[in-house]
Amino acid sequence: MKAARRPHSPRVEKESSMTPRKKLEGLVAATVTPMTPDGQINLSVIHQYVDYLVSEQNVKNVFVNGTTGEGLSLSIQERKQLAEEWICQGKNKLDHVIIHVGALSLPESQELARHAAAIGASGIAVMAPFFFKPTNKDELIAFLQKVASEAPAVPFYYYHIPHLTGVKIHVEELLDGIKKQIPTFQGVKFSDTDLLDLAQCISKNESKQFAFLYGVDEQLLSALAIGANGAVGSTFNYLGRKTNLMLQAFAKPDLPLAQKYQFLTGEFLNFVIKLGFGVAQTKAVMTFVSGIPMGPPRLPLVNASEEFIIKAKAKLDGIVWPDGD
Ligand SMILES: CC(=O)N[C@H](C=O)[C@@H](O)[C@H](O)[C@H](O)CO
Ligand SMILES: CC(=O)C(=O)O
């Protein structure tokens, strides 16, 4: 099968915003990158993907080209095409389209940041470079600053994912004076289990100028208790509606109900993690839940096994949710 053609050309918009800008909070789906059976990016299903997230999962924010999106396995050209398609299809439907523009090469990351700004992304995010790594806070901020300054009107998020980047600099350390170095700094996607670091970040953020979005879905409730503003995660692609009910229960507050949702999403994740769970498996789960063909992952990732799919589906179908589903 041939790669789906890009249906439109890049559009440069004067204002870097999708819809009137709301603060980023609540759930953000870390999108998978749909691929054709022969491994090309498949832009043709993104329209359907947007509608599915909004109408079936009640999720109106997306994080594109991140870990789940295999962003670091895509070419620069593919990343641009995907960013354009998400922004185009999300227009008047999604609240926020955040584009991950991190790369090992600074000029490539800068190019992606300029591109995201030109097409009207509602935010950009950058993870730490992870081959040659920054060894301290100053080196990391210097890199982030060089990328952020290429998109001076676009909110900037640091993407903290130390178990994948190997860059374990505490976020709390980064925050001191960061607005002076990165005026567009808006918050952190915090994908680590170190809730002490998260709590220190939140307690330092007294004026609530920054957003802290948690990224370990199976323990989101703990992060909410400590004051996280929302979450970016892969499971909100297919458990967005249930996780939204957890957020509502927490806000009410009905802690026992919120716990029940967390226990059940945790039961599913605990089950699949034991089988071996990563981006390939997320694509498979999203395919059987949504009916949208997300296709295979790109090497070095390989397709989820049939056995995984059968077991994961049976597990998910067997969960009895508090809302009676
Ligand atoms: C490594 C990774 O992909 N983490 C995701 C976001 O950061 C999470 O959404 C996890 O996929 C999820 O928490 C399941 O472990
Ligand atoms: C999970 C997440 O946030 C990502 O895929 O980048």
Residue-wise pLDDT tens digits, 252-293: 999 999 999 999 999 999 999 999 999 999 999 999 999 999
Give the closest residue to 48 by CA, choosing from 67, 31, 70, 73.
31
Tens of each residue's pLDDT in the chain, 325 residues: 344 444 444 444 444 444 446 788 899 999 999 999 999 999 999 999 999 999 999 999 999 999 999 999 999 999 999 999 999 999 999 999 999 999 999 999 999 999 999 999 999 999 999 999 999 999 999 999 999 999 999 999 999 999 999 999 999 999 999 999 999 999 999 999 999 999 999 999 888 899 999 999 999 999 999 999 999 999 999 999 999 999 999 999 999 999 999 999 999 999 999 999 999 999 999 999 999 999 999 999 999 999 999 999 999 999 999 987 7
Q: Which neighbouring-strand residues pair with 212?
A: 188
The complex scores an ipTM of 0.93
Q: Residue ranges for the binding site?
A: 68, 232
CA of residue 192 to ligand 1 center, whole Å: 9
Tell me the domain boundaries of the chain. 26-318
Residue tagged 């926020």 (tokens): 96
Give the closest residue to 132 by CA, choosing from 122, 124, 140.
140
Measure the CA–CA gap between 121 and 115, rounded to whole angstroms. 9
Q: List ligand 2's pocket residues with C-beta within 6 A.
A: 30, 63, 66-68, 189, 215, 232-234
Measure the CA–CA gap between 312 and 325, rounded to whole angstroms. 17
Q: Is the beta carbon of 68 within 6 A of some atom in ligand 1?
A: yes
- Is-contact 197 216, C-beta < 8 A? no
Classified as helix, coil or strand, 126 is strand
Active site residues: 159, 189
Q: Is the beta carbon of 235 within 6 A of some atom in ligand 1?
A: yes
CA of residue 200 to ligand 2 center, whole Å: 22
The protein residue with its alpha carbon nearest to ligand 2, atom 4, reads 67
The pTM is what? 0.93
The third-level CATH classification (topology) of the domain covering 26-318 is TIM Barrel (3.20.20)
Q: Is the beta carbon of 217 within 6 A of some atom in ligand 1?
A: yes
H/E segment holding residue 214: strand 211-214
